[in-house]
Structure 1
């Protein structure tokens, strides 16, 4: 596993500092998500996942930094635990997963259709990463929250049951 400096250099080599994203660039967004996860009490593996969460693209941001079939490259960079979380996040079919996530713990893979069941800490970490990503986006572009307030209110209210206490508090404050 590489250190944070190597991961950030890898992200810049992949052009993330030239990709527009709410609040500036994709690179800045990735760094903010990682930093916020740290501030909210998550350890190095979750922070590394936050820093690279868009590596395979996402259901809401289609640009991939590498193909999901090339998981070994990211695994070597951030470690197995972080890469597993990045893959879960990037492969999540939001329409089929998010609304009932807190109730079922099920994440449907948008690439394969497979369903992964999360329990306990796995679910909390996934929800925390997902929520922190959304919190950063709406903080940098409040019009997204204004246009989607009902959806975010429903999601964040449901997710608060399985999120960590610090992330639950952040979700409440954002609304």
Structure 2
């Protein structure tokens, strides 16, 4: 596994500074997502996955820094666990991800790329919840105000999958207990 300087060099050499993301650069967003995960006390593999969570693009952010054919190189840089989490985050169909939250017996993601179904371990679902929350909270202040409370229902269902510090950060913004009587989003 490489050190942080090598990881940042990879992102910089792949134009992460040149790509725009939520009124900032993609590199800034990746660094901010990584910082939140570190602040929450997440292990290095999860924090590194946060640093690379959009390297393969995502359903909402189709720009890619590296093609899927570069997975072995990125795995060598991050380690297998962090690369797999970044891969899962990048290729997941969000609807299939959120479908796992109410508590399904079989945890699966559907790939937005080839419609393949990928089984998840409970720990991977928890890690993906942390990535989703860190990704969202990092960019949330820069998005249009009418979208800042989107996915309230789905985010509230992540409580059992999140660490106390990640849940506290999410609840500080959404104040779930103060809005229990609201209608869920469409």
TM-score by length of structure 2 reads 0.85
Q: CA deviation at 1:110?
A: 1.2
Secondary structure of 1:161's aligned partner: helix
Query: Which consecutive residues of structure 1, in runs of 5 or more, have no partner in the other structure?
Result: none
Partner of 2:180: none
> Root-mean-square deviation (CA), in Å?
1.6
Q: 1:13 to 1:51 in 2, by over 3 A?
A: same
What count of residue pairs does the alignment treat as equivalent?
A: 171
Partner of 2:141: 139
Partner of 1:68: 68
Range that drifts further, 102-111 or 56-65: 102-111
The separation in 2 between residues aligned to 1:118 and 1:131, in whole angstroms, is: 18
Q: 1:147 to 1:35 in 2, by over 3 A?
A: closer
1:18-33 aligned at under 5 Å gives the runs 18-33=18-33
Q: CA deviation at 1:58?
A: 0.5
Which protein is bigger by CA-based radius of gyration?
2
Secondary structure of 1:45's aligned partner: helix
The one-character-per-residue Cα deviations of 1:74-125 (angstroms, maximum 9, x if unpaired) are 1111111110101110010113322x22123321111222222323322211
Partner of 1:114: 116
Q: CA deviation at 1:38?
A: 0.5
Answer yes or no: is the 8 Å Cα contact 1:16–1:25 preserved in 2.
Answer: yes
Query: Which consecutive residues of structure 2, in runs of 5 or more, have no partner in the other structure?
Result: 175-186
Higher helix share: 1
Partner of 2:163: 164
Q: CA deviation at 1:56?
A: 0.5
Answer yes or no: is the 8 Å Cα contact 2:22–2:139 preserved in 1.
Answer: yes
Answer yes or no: is the 8 Å Cα contact 1:156–1:172 preserved in 2.
Answer: no
Report runs of 4+ in structure 1 exceeding 3 Å deviation.
none
